[in-house]
Copies of this chain bind each other. A is one copy, B any other.
Amino acid sequence: MTNNPVVKGKLVCVALNDSKQFDAMQDAFNNAPYKSAPTQPVLYFKPHNTWSVDGAEVEWAITDGQPAQSMVVGASFAVVFDRECCRVSEEQALESVGGYALVHDFSLPEVSYYRPDIKGKCLDGSAPISAAVVVSAVTDPQALSVITQVNGETVSEMPLSQMVRSVAQLISTISYIMTLQAGDVIAIGFPGERASIEQGDSVSSAIAGVTQLNNTVGRA
């Protein structure tokens, strides 16, 4: 297990925050099991055993005693809290944020956003978190873009302006569900289309001029 110096309490991830994906799923949302589109952010946790660092090799998943057939990765802009944040308005939301970072979420392929996928999401070392940059280094987080490359080829580009809910909106909403504490991290939104990866791949994400995160995928 690798310790990560940035995250201390909890790593909350937001699913379905890419408006392209959200719009494309409208038909699916009208059918079972969803019945209607979610009206609240869809959240999941990456627990302690998943936390890892820039430069780390990420283990290839073992499921049912065998190397997993496939894995995927997504990268997200993340906010790091440096003080307690409870029931704040959108206007106050960024006051408790001390830094910005990048999070890689390695997982088994996502089958549904309806059922909690503990098995696919809680793989050891599957959430590397980059070094955090201080908030004052970034004028407008909504103007940033997260670019991810696998083996040097760009597989996704996620402008934060494409998110269903903004950084400040999400922090406000989540702060009414649970208190965020110093050392908590929220990964605000992943591209809807996760990138397929193979054993031995290198995965690099960057927010130009802000921070980057480089990992390799291990071999089973």
Contacts and interface: CB of A to CB of B under 8 A. Distances in A.
Interface of A: 1, 9-10, 12, 32-33, 40, 43-45, 47-50, 62, 84, 86-87, 114-116, 118-119, 122-124, 176-181, 184
A116 B48 contact: no
Given A84-B1, A114-B114, A114-B115, A122 B177 contact: yes
Question: Which label, helix, strand, loop or mixed, suits the secondary structure of the A interface?
Answer: loop
Given A114-B115, A119-B177, A47 B45 contact: yes
A1 B179 contact: yes
Contacts of A12: 47
Contacts of A62: 87, 176
Contacts of A40: 119
Contact of A10 (B33, B49, B180): B49
Contacts of A45: 45, 47
22 contacts: A1-B84, A1-B179, A1-B181, A9-B47, A9-B49, A10-B47, A40-B119, A44-B116, A44-B118, A48-B181, A49-B179, A49-B180, A50-B178, A62-B87, A86-B124, A114-B114, A114-B115, A115-B115, A118-B178, A119-B177, A122-B178, A123-B178
Q: Taking each of A12, A176, A178, which has the highest tally of chain B beta carbons within 10 Å of its own beta carbon?
A: A178
Nearest to A9: B48
A88 to B, nearest CB: 13
A179 B122 CA distance: 9
A124 B48 contact: no
A50 to B, nearest CB: 8
Contacts of A49: 9-10, 178-181
B116 A47 contact: no
